[in-house]
Structure 1
Amino acid sequence: MGKSAAERKAAQRARQASEGQRKIELHLDAQKLEMLERNRAARRPGREPYDAAEYIAMLIRQDDARARMHIRSISRKRCGRCGDPLPVSECLLDSESQCWVNRGWHEIKLKL
């Protein structure tokens, strides 16, 4: 006798977990959902729109590439207080205004 739907789903989840995949739940308001739908189609004119998961995965890869490039470019600079190369994630002097940890992190945060 074949596997039940629950057993097949459990096997699928086990395969995905062994491949390092993880399911996340995403809540989008109507405006963001409309942007997602519009851009999935706009990025593939004359073809089937990107699958939502595929589109979001590509956006993550693009952001990762931009973030790495930006971090590489600021790594040539040093913290104004301790002299450590940027980005500094921990510093004993982080309460001082010259310390990059105090305000400099704004250079690499996500911005619209």
Structure 2
Amino acid sequence: MTERLFPVIARDTQGKSINARIPWRLVEAFRHQCEEMCGGQTLERIAERGGMSWRELAHALAGLRMGALVHDDRAHQIMVMGALHLLDRQGDPRGSLKRV
């Protein structure tokens, strides 16, 4: 069975849109934060509308308001991938991503 994927609004180094996706299980683990970040839309609706940017995902996963992190899409992508790694290893990365 193919793993369900969540769309990420992303661009390559030339600024062109690319088809990025992350495992749905990661955003599912942060459903409340992602839905809150997107004005109460469900994850399903967010996905239908094109997903979330790396920046939005990084803020949601860290439980921070937009603008709290420096605007650096590569750093945000690394943070999201780190959360996925924690999810795979621990089963629940939420405690590991809370701000100290």
TM-score norm. by structure 2 comes to: 0.25
TM-score norm. by structure 1 comes to: 0.24
Q: Which protein has the larger Cα radius of gyration, Structure 1 or Structure 2? A: 1
Query: Which protein has the bigger strand share?
Result: 2
Which one scores higher on RCO, CA 8 angstroms, separation ≥ 6? 2
